[in-house]
Chains A and B, each alone.
Chain A
Amino acid sequence: MLKIENLHVKLEDEEKQILKGVNLEVGAGQVHAIMGPNGSGKSTLSYVLSGREGYEITDGEAHLGDVDLLDIEPEERAAAGLFLAFQYPVEIPGVGNMTFLRTAVNAQRKARGEEEMSAAEFLKVVRAKAKTLKIDADMLKRPVNVGFSGGEKKRNEILQMAMLEPKMCILDETDSGLDVDAMKLVSEGVNALRSEGRSFLVITHYQRLLDHIKPDVVHIMANGRIIKSGGPELALEVEQNGYADILAEVS
C-alpha cells in the first residue's frame, strides 16, 4: 500500500536535515504505529507524505500503490487515497462544516472521474456517519472546527476520514489533547474504518492509544530514521522503559 524508500528531507529554508533515510512499508489492511521522542521527525514524515510546503526532498521515494506521491499536489495525493488526520485541525470561520465536507468529497470524486454526490445523498450519508461519532447536527452546521473542543476537532477529523474513504490514513498524534472518553470514541471511529483495503499509520507518543487501536507493527523513530521495528510489545517496552534503552541498543 504505502512504500517509503530511503527518504531524506530537509527544511526548505534552512540547512537542517530532518529525515535521514526513512524506509517503511505498510501492507494493505495493516495498522502500523510510529513512536519516538520529540523531534525525531514523525510529524515531518506525515507532512512530507501529504505534501505540505516548506520541505525539500533530497533523496528517496514514496509510493501509494502505483502513485508516486512526492511528485504531485496535496489534493492529488488526497484523491489518490491518502488522508492525514491533523494533530491540530485548522479552524476555518465562515465555511460551514457540511459545505467543506461536501466540497472535499466531490472534489475527490471528480478528480477520480467518479460521479459527484448529490446534496440529498450526501446529507444522508454524513448524518449516519456523524451519529456514530456522536457529532450532532449543530457541529455539522457550524463553521469548520470553530468553537469545537479538542475532542470535537479530532472526532471531526475522523468524520472527514469516514466520508472520504481513503486507502491510507495517517493519524498524527490524534490522541493529543484528548481525555480518556474522547480517545475511546475516536479510536472506535478509527476501528470501525479498519478494513482489508485500508491501511493506517498511527503516529503517537503514548502506548495508551495503541491499547485502543491495535497495531500490527510498531516502529521506533529517532533522529530522522526508523531505528527499530517490532510487534505491539515494542510499544509496551517504550511505555515501561522510555526510549533510552532502545536508543542505546542501536547506537
Chain B
Amino acid sequence: MSAVAETMNVTDERLAGLTLPAGGWSDAARKDALSRVQMMGLPNRRDEYWKYTRPDTLTQAVAVPAALFHNDEAALFDDVERLKIVFVDGVFDADASDDLSLEGVSIERLATADADIHWARDVYGVLETNGQKPVERPLAALNTAFATDGVLIHVTGAASKPINMIYLHNSETSDVMLHNVIKLDAGASLTVLETGPAAARLNMVTEVEVADTAALHHIRAQGRDHERRAATHIFARLGTESVFKSFTLTANGVMTRNECVLELTGDDAKATVGGACVGDGDFHHDDTVFITHDAENCESRQVFKKVLRNGATGVFQGKILVKTGAQKTDGYQISQSLLLDGDSQFLAKPELEIYADDVICSHGSTSGAIDETALFYLQSRGISKPVATDLLTLSFLAEAVDEIEDETLREQINERMASWLERRRG
C-alpha cells in the first residue's frame, strides 16, 4: 500500500467511528476542521514531523486499553486555594467540581455553551487553524472537529485564584477528546493548573488568546498511569507586552506527544515553555515546540529536561522562527536528557529559522550521565549513592522547574518529584 493510501485508510477508519457533536456556534468550525482532517490525513510514521514518534496508537480507530493506576498520593495542588473543574474520562463531574464562578472570569463548558454569538467563536479552531502552517497538525484538527467537552474561560480581570482542571481516568478503555479555550482580555491574568491522566487515550487541544499586557501561567502534570497515551496541543497567540508561561510535568505514560505552538504577534511579549519528564521503561515522551516571532523585542524560552532509564525514549523537536521585522528577538532553547543507563535514548532536533538581522537566538541540546565528580562529592559527605543520585537528578530537572514563577506551585512540583524518587528507592 502506498503511504498516501495507508494514511487515507487510517484516517477513514478513525473518522468512521466518530460523529460530529451538535455544537451550535461551533458547528462551522467543526465542519471546517473535519474537512481539513480529510485533506491532510492523520499522521503516519513516514511523516517527517513524526520521525521520532510513531503516531499509530494515537491515530488508530480504537484506543489501546490502559490499566488504571492506583495512586495513593494526595492529589497535586490539594492544599492550593483553587477553583476545581473535574472531568472523569472526559465527562464533566458536577458534584466533584466547584461552582464555575470566579470574579473577573467567565467559565463555561464547551458541551453546554449555547449562545448564538459566543466569544469563543473567534478563538475556537481559529488558533489551531493558524498553527497548521507551516507544519500540519492533523490530530489537533481532528480534536476541533470532534471534541466532546472542555472549558471555555474568558478572563477580564486579575483572577483571584487558579483554575484547576482535574482529569481523572477511571475506565480502561476511555478515548477522550477535550478542547479548552482561554481568552485573556487586555491586562487580565490567570493561572491554569491541569492535572491527571484524563483517559486511556487523550487528544487535548488548548487555544489561548493572550491580549496586550495580559498574563497566563499554565502548569500541567500529566498523571502517572503507566499505560495512558496522549497527544496534546497548545496554541497560543500573544499580544503586546503579554506573558505566556507553560510548564509540564510528565512521569510515566507509555506514549505522550505534547505540542506547543506559540505566536508572538505584539511587541515586547514574553513566552516560556518548559517541561520536566521522568521516564522509566516503556515510556515515550515527545515535546514538539514551534515558536514564531512576528513582532519586535520579544523573548521566548524553551527549557526541557528529561530523565530516562530502562529503555525509555525522549524526543524534543523545537523550532524558533523569526520573521522579517521581528528585530531584537531574544530566543533561547535548551533540551537536555539525563540517561541513567545505556538502554535509554534521547532524540533531539533543534531548529532555528531567522529572517531578521538583529536577533539573539541560542540553542543547545545535550545527553549525559550522572556527573561522577558531583556524585563523589555528595557521597564523601555521607550521602548514600542512591540518595546522591536522586539529589543530582532533581538538580538536573531544576532548571526546567525553575521556570515556574509561583514559588508555592514550584515547590509542590519539586516536592512531588522528590517523593517519587524517594519511593522508588524504597
Q: How far is the CB of B64 from chain A (nearest CB, A)?
A: 36
In the complex, how many residues of chain A place their beta carbon closer than 8 angstroms to a beta carbon of chain B? Answer: 29
Q: How far is the CB of A136 from chain B (nearest CB, A)?
A: 20
Query: Which B residues are in CB contact (< 8 Å) with A83?
Result: 380
Among residues of B, the one whose C-beta sits closest to the C-beta of A163 is: B381
Among residues of B, the one whose C-beta sits closest to the C-beta of A84 is: B380
Comparing B14-22, B341-349, B370-378, the segment that makes contact with chain A is B370-378
Query: Which B residues are in CB contact (< 8 Å) with A50?
Result: 380
Given that A100-B391, A103-B387, A103-B391 are contacting pairs, would A92 and B382 also be in contact in the complex, using a CB cutoff of 8 Å? Answer: no
Chain B residues 376 to 416 lying within 8 A of chain A, measured CB to CB, are 376-385, 387-388, 391-392, 394-399, 401-402
Cα A53 to Cα B382 with chains together (Å):
16
Among residues of A, the one whose C-beta sits closest to the C-beta of B394 is: A94
Cα A92 to Cα B379 with chains together (Å):
13
Comparing A73-81, A121-129, A178-186, A234-242, the segment that makes contact with chain B is A73-81
Most chain A beta-carbon contacts within 10 A, residue among B372, B378, B394: B378
Chain A residues 24 to 55 lying within 8 A of chain B, measured CB to CB, are 50-53
Query: Which B residues are in CB contact (< 8 Å) with A217?
Result: none
Given that A90-B373, A90-B374, A90-B377 are contacting pairs, would A79 and B395 also be in contact in the complex, using a CB cutoff of 8 Å? Answer: no
B384 touches which of A52, A75, A95, A160 (Cβ 8 Å):
A75
B395 touches which of A52, A53, A94 (Cβ 8 Å):
A94
Q: What 0/1 readout, one digit per residue, does chain A (165-187) give for beta carbons within 8 Å of chain B? A: 00000000000000000000000
Query: Which B residues are in CB contact (< 8 Å) with A75?
Result: 379-385, 388
Asked if A95 and B395 make an inter-chain contact with CB atoms under 8 angstroms apart, the answer reads yes
Q: What 0/1 readout, one digit per residue, does chain A (94-108) give for beta carbons within 8 Å of chain B? A: 110000100111011
Cα A78 to Cα B398 with chains together (Å):
27
Cα A2 to Cα B397 with chains together (Å):
40
Asked if A111 and B394 make an inter-chain contact with CB atoms under 8 angstroms apart, the answer reads no
Q: How far is the CB of B362 from chain A (nearest CB, A)?
A: 18
Given that A90-B373, A92-B374 are contacting pairs, would A160 and B381 also be in contact in the complex, using a CB cutoff of 8 Å? Answer: yes
Cα A100 to Cα B394 with chains together (Å):
12
Asked if B380 and A74 make an inter-chain contact with CB atoms under 8 angstroms apart, the answer reads yes
Would you call A231 an interface residue if the criterion is a C-beta within 8 Å of the partner chain's C-beta atoms?
Answer: no
Give the size category of B's interface with A. 20 to 34
Query: Which B residues are in CB contact (< 8 Å) with A105?
Result: 382
Query: Which B residues are in CB contact (< 8 Å) with A52?
Result: 376, 380
Among residues of A, the one whose C-beta sits closest to the C-beta of B391 is: A95
Among residues of B, the one whose C-beta sits closest to the C-beta of A161 is: B381
Asked if B381 and A92 make an inter-chain contact with CB atoms under 8 angstroms apart, the answer reads no
Q: How far is the CB of A246 from chain B (nearest CB, A)?
A: 31
B382 touches which of A79, A89, A93 (Cβ 8 Å):
A79
Given that A90-B373, A90-B377 are contacting pairs, would A107 and B395 also be in contact in the complex, using a CB cutoff of 8 Å? Answer: no
Query: Which B residues are in CB contact (< 8 Å) with A111?
Result: 382
A164 touches which of B371, B372, B381, B397 (Cβ 8 Å):
B381
Would you call A86 an interface residue if the criterion is a C-beta within 8 Å of the partner chain's C-beta atoms?
Answer: yes
Among residues of A, the one whose C-beta sits closest to the C-beta of B372 is: A53
B392 touches which of A77, A84, A92 (Cβ 8 Å):
A92
Cα A74 to Cα B382 with chains together (Å):
7
Query: Which A residues are in CB contact (< 8 Å) with B392?
Result: 92, 95
Q: What 0/1 readout, one digit per residue, does chain A (221-251) give for beta carbons within 8 Å of chain B? A: 0000000000000000000000000000000
Q: How far is the CB of B159 from chain A (nearest CB, A)?
A: 30
Query: Which A residues are in CB contact (< 8 Å) with B402?
Result: 94
Most chain B beta-carbon contacts within 10 A, residue among A78, A143, A164: A78
Cα A111 to Cα B382 with chains together (Å):
9
Cα A105 to Cα B392 with chains together (Å):
18
Among residues of B, the one whose C-beta sits closest to the C-beta of A108 is: B382
Asked if A78 and B374 make an inter-chain contact with CB atoms under 8 angstroms apart, the answer reads no
Q: How far is the CB of A171 from chain B (nearest CB, A)?
A: 13
Among residues of A, the one whose C-beta sits closest to the C-beta of B402 is: A94
Query: Which B residues are in CB contact (< 8 Å) with A90?
Result: 371, 373-374, 377
Among residues of B, the one whose C-beta sits closest to the C-beta of A54 is: B372
Chain B residues 70 to 97 lying within 8 A of chain A, measured CB to CB, are none
Cα A142 to Cα B401 with chains together (Å):
16
Query: Which A residues are in CB contact (< 8 Å) with B399?
Result: 93-94
Given that A90-B373, A92-B391, A107-B387 are contacting pairs, would A73 and B380 also be in contact in the complex, using a CB cutoff of 8 Å? Answer: no
Most chain A beta-carbon contacts within 10 A, residue among B377, B381, B391, B398: B381
Cα A143 to Cα B379 with chains together (Å):
17
Asked if A104 and B383 make an inter-chain contact with CB atoms under 8 angstroms apart, the answer reads yes
Chain B residues 356 to 380 lying within 8 A of chain A, measured CB to CB, are 371-374, 376-380
Cα A78 to Cα B150 with chains together (Å):
55
Query: Which B residues are in CB contact (< 8 Å) with A86?
Result: 377, 380
Most chain A beta-carbon contacts within 10 A, residue among B383, B388, B401, B402: B383
Q: How far is the CB of A117 from chain B (nearest CB, A)?
A: 13
Given that A90-B374, A103-B391, A107-B384 are contacting pairs, would A73 and B379 also be in contact in the complex, using a CB cutoff of 8 Å? Answer: yes
- A interface residues, Cβ below 8 angstroms from B: 50-53, 73-75, 77-79, 83-84, 86, 89-90, 92-95, 100, 103-105, 107-108, 111, 143, 160, 164
Known: A73-B379, A73-B384, A75-B381; 13 extra A-B contacts, CB below 8 A, are A52-B380, A74-B376, A74-B379, A75-B379, A75-B384, A78-B379, A78-B382, A89-B377, A92-B392, A93-B395, A93-B399, A104-B383, A107-B383
Q: List 9 A-B contacts (CB under 8 A).
A: A73-B385, A86-B380, A90-B373, A92-B392, A95-B392, A95-B394, A95-B395, A95-B398, A105-B382
- B interface residues, Cβ below 8 angstroms from A: 371-374, 376-385, 387-388, 391-392, 394-399, 401-402
What are the 7 A-B residue pairs with the smallest beta carbon separation, nearest first?
Answer: A94-B398, A78-B382, A108-B382, A74-B379, A94-B395, A104-B381, A90-B377
